[in-house]
Copies of this chain bind each other. A is one copy, B any other.
Amino acid sequence: MSKINPQDIPHKMLSLDPFSQWLGIEIVEVKKGYCKLGLRIRSEMLNSMQKAHGGIAYALADTAFGFAANTHGRFAVSIETSINHIEALHEDDYVIAETQLDIAKNKLGFAYVNLSVGDKIVAVFKGVVYRTSKEWL
């Protein structure tokens, strides 16, 4: 069993993760099997249409997904993920990612993640992790 508390794992992960730091990802709430993150869209995150690049919404969702999957104590790596981009994101939008489901089996884990701005869902995400045998300490 891992000696670290489940809710401390995402904080440790974020402290070690240069890209999530570049994105400015903030941890809103975490508990075992659950993660809620926030991110403010900045001008350097835009694409040629002056909307947030699809990679930004994806990266936020994938981070919430990965953080939640790792709260179970073992290193879990994202192997399959899909995202539906429903609403365009603009500079200064504050985007929330929240895991909606958490199923942890021996080798695999599954989750949904919703992205929202205010009351509006802007993207939906579904993913599968592979759970390695390595533990967070």
Contacts and interface: CB of A to CB of B under 8 A. Distances in A.
Contact of A84 (B15, B23, B53, B80): B80
Copies of this chain, count = 4
Contact of A19 (B12, B47, B85, B100): B47
A114 to B, nearest CB: 8
Interface in A82-134: 82-86, 88, 100-101, 103, 105, 107-108, 110, 112, 114, 121, 124, 126, 128, 130
Interface of A: 12-20, 22-23, 43-49, 52-56, 58-60, 62-63, 66, 75, 77-86, 88, 100-101, 103, 105, 107-108, 110, 112, 114, 121, 124, 126, 128, 130
